[in-house]
């Protein structure tokens, strides 16, 4: 008589049960089915039709981005509506928006790793990919807004006949280093974490080309003990290196504003406020991408309601931090007694850009309050809708900070107004095209989830003692406590 395997699909893993850890993989999965579930996506001979439609749209938008950039460079920055006093508009708004989104990836992969948050295993690959693509989009805007892009190499400290050096006292230069370091480390982290999974794809490949391509990328991975040992060491080191970057990058981005003298920018609260906002927006973007992806690619048993709920909790926490920062900015402006500082905050709430300000407040402060309710934390589509609002709100936050402070500064005589030109709007839309194009290529050709890591948080990983524990060791020794009773014998329920 064959015994029916116990199905835990019906288990609600968002319920806390003090007797045991909630399972992070639902359904009747073992190592083989996890590999199958994830590998089948890049191994399919043809992606689903929806993929083609999405790719057609996003690559068209990418083409539009390319045209806008060429038009900008060939004609000059006048095709944007930037003016004096508003010298930064949608370009820098988009830059900060995309860099901010890029923060969730490293937070999930590095900080949650160091804190032994095992639920990260299902979403880290995905979030890291998102980070890299967001940083790619972010990098475009400061690159093209400098006017004469062919002189952009002046940003790098290269000895030259002009004896001209970047201004090391300027946060704009720190930004160049912060963002490029972040991009490099994120890329390394993402790629290195993918090596064992690329080897899996290589070993399963059925054509010469796929075998060669994945084989090249897998760098000769064989899965030996020695390789795993070094891999885990390297992973830990990279996580430790990447952790300060999560905090530093957006702190430095905030210095672009905080170090200047402009009312509304010149505040010490900016670095933590920006970091909280970045993590907030980053998680929102992960949810925006993950909810449709898990639905579409049949990954609901790997990205469970518990994963979604955890992300919602982080959004609630960081959303409240952001809300706190909004209110403390007003308090500081009032308490400082500085008329310019007071004025700019009144102008934000009631001036020409008040519509943007209140859009920001509604999206960023009110939306996450939904997550006090468990139903909203665990219902994917409510989460999805909320995450869209948060994305919108976080874009407006940067717009409000940048444009309102520039438009109405100290002297009424130098005030000005700004609205984007069609070129700026199309460039921004085009950057979404690029982001989704890269993302669609990623889900088509690379393993969307860290198979090896997901396996390490399954109960099966803990039934073996000794050298074959996979990543289990680095997740702390927590589950072994109840899986192995003192006295030695495995307890199978």
55 or 177: CB nearest other proteins: 177
- To the nearest whole angstrom, how small is the minimum distance from the Cβ of residue 15 to other proteins? 44
How far does Cα 121 stand from its chain's mean position?
15
222 or 485: CB nearest other proteins: 222
Nearest to 374 by CA among 323, 319, 308, 317: 308
216 or 237: CB nearest other proteins: 216
Residue 184 as a binder of other proteins (CB under 8 A): the answer is: no
Identify which range of 54-62, 209-217, 295-303, 432-440 contacts other proteins by CB under 8 A.
209-217
- CB-based contact 133:433 (threshold 8 Å): no
Kindly state the tokens that stand for 65.
């981005």
Residue 45 as a binder of other proteins (CB under 8 A): the answer is: no
Single out the residue of 205, 302, 312, 438 in contact with other proteins (rule: CB under 8 A): 205
Identify which range of 211-219, 235-243, 354-362, 458-466 contacts other proteins by CB under 8 A.
211-219
How far does Cα 253 stand from its chain's mean position?
16
- To the nearest whole angstrom, how small is the minimum distance from the Cβ of residue 210 to other proteins? 9
Identify which range of 123-131, 159-167, 325-333, 445-453 contacts other proteins by CB under 8 A.
159-167
Distance separating alpha carbons of residues 116 and 106, to the nearest angstrom: 14
DSSP code, position 490? B
165 or 372: CB nearest other proteins: 165
Q: Give the interface size with other proteins as a residue count (CB under 8 A).
A: 19
Residue 220 as a binder of other proteins (CB under 8 A): the answer is: yes
Helix axes 90-101, 422-445, angle to 10 degrees: 20
Q: What is the CB neighbour count within 10 angstroms for residue 19? A: 5
Q: Count of alpha carbons within 13 Å of 250, Cβ hemisphere only?
A: 30
- To the nearest whole angstrom, how small is the minimum distance from the Cβ of residue 88 to other proteins? 22
Identify which range of 142-150, 201-209, 223-231, 414-422 contacts other proteins by CB under 8 A.
201-209
Q: Sign of dihedral through CA atoms 63, 176, 190, 454? A: negative
367: helix, strand or coil: helix
Distance separating alpha carbons of residues 172 and 181, to the nearest angstrom: 14
- CB-based contact 171:259 (threshold 8 Å): yes
Binding residues for other proteins restricted to 124-153, rule: CB under 8 A: 153
Nearest to 185 by CA among 251, 135, 254, 113: 135
Q: Which residue has the tokens 């393993």?
A: 447
159 or 487: CB nearest other proteins: 159
217 or 259: CB nearest other proteins: 217
- To the nearest whole angstrom, how small is the minimum distance from the Cβ of residue 208 to other proteins? 9
- To the nearest whole angstrom, how small is the minimum distance from the Cβ of residue 216 to other proteins? 8
Binding mask 160-179 for other proteins (x = CB under 8 A): xxxxx---------------
165 or 335: CB nearest other proteins: 165
163 or 224: CB nearest other proteins: 163
Distance separating alpha carbons of residues 119 and 132, to the nearest angstrom: 21
- CB-based contact 106:242 (threshold 8 Å): yes
DSSP code, position 169? T
- To the nearest whole angstrom, how small is the minimum distance from the Cβ of residue 148 to other proteins? 12
Identify which range of 129-137, 207-215, 271-279, 311-319 contacts other proteins by CB under 8 A.
207-215
Single out the residue of 28, 48, 115, 212 in contact with other proteins (rule: CB under 8 A): 212
Q: Sign of dihedral through CA atoms 109, 172, 155, 144? A: positive
10 or 209: CB nearest other proteins: 209
9 or 160: CB nearest other proteins: 160
- CB-based contact 441:377 (threshold 8 Å): no
- CB-based contact 274:228 (threshold 8 Å): no
Q: Where do contacts with other proteins occur on this chain (CB under 8 A)?
A: 153, 158-164, 202-203, 205-206, 211-212, 214-216, 218, 220
């Amino acid at each position: 008589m064959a015994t029916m395997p116990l199905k835990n699909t019906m288990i609600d893993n968002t319920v806390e049960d003090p007797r045991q850890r909630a399972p992070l993989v639902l359904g009747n999965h073992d190592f083989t089915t996890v590999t199958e579930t994830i590998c089948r996506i890049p191994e399919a001979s043809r992606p689903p039709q929806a993929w083609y439609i999405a790719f057609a749209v996003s690559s068209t938008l990418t083409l539009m981005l390319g045209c806008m950039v060429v038009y900008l460079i060939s004609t000059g920055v006048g095709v944007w509506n930037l003016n004096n006093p508003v010298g930064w508009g949608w370009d820098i708004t988009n830059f900060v928006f995309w860099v901010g989104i890029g923060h969730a990836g490293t937070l999930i992969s590095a900080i949650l790793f160091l804190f032994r948050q095992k639920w990260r295993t299902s979403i880290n690959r995905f979030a890291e990919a998102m980070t890299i693509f967001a940083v790619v989009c972010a990098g475009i805007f400061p690159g093209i807004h400098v006017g004469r892009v062919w002189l952009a190499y002046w940003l790098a400290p290269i000895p030259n006949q002009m004896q001209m050096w970047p201004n090391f006292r300027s946060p704009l230069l720190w930004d160049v280093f912060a963002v490029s370091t972040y991009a490099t480390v994120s890329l390394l982290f993402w790629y290195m974490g993918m090596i064992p999974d690329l080897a899996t794809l290589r070993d399963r490949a059925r054509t010469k080309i796929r075998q060669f391509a994945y084989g090249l990328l897998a760098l000769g991975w064989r899965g030996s003990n020695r390789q795993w040992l070094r891999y885990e060491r390297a992973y830990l080191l990279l996580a430790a290196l990447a952790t300060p970057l999560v905090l530093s990058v957006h702190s430095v981005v905030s210095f672009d504003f905080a170090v200047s003298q402009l009312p509304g920018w010149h505040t010490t609260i900016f670095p933590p406020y920006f970091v909280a906002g970045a993590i907030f927006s980053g998680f929102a973007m992960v949810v925006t991408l993950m909810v449709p992806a898990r639905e579409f690619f049949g990954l609901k048993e790997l990205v469970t309601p518990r994963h979604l709920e955890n992300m919602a909790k982080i959004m609630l926490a960081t959303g409240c931090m952001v809300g706190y920062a909004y209110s403390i900015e007003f308090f500081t402006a009032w308490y400082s007694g500085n008329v310019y500082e007071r004025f700019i905050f009144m102008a934000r709430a009631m001036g020409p850009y008040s519509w943007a300000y209140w859009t920001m407040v509604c999206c960023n402060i009110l939306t996450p309050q939904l997550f006090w309710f468990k139903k909203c934390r665990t219902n994917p589509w409510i989460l999805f809708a909320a995450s869209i609002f948060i994305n919108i709100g976080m874009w407006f936050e940067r717009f409000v900070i940048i444009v309102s402070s520039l438009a109405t500064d100290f002297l009424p005589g130098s005030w000005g107004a700004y609205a984007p030109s069609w070129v700026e709007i199309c460039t921004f839309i085009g950057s979404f095209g690029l982001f989704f194009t890269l993302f669609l290529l990623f889900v088509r050709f690379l393993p969307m989830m860290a198979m090896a890591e997901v396996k390490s948080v399954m109960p099966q990983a803990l039934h073996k003692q000794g050298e074959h524990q996979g990543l289990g060791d680095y997740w702390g020794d927590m589950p072994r406590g109840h899986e192995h009773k003192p006295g030695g014998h495995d307890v199978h329920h």
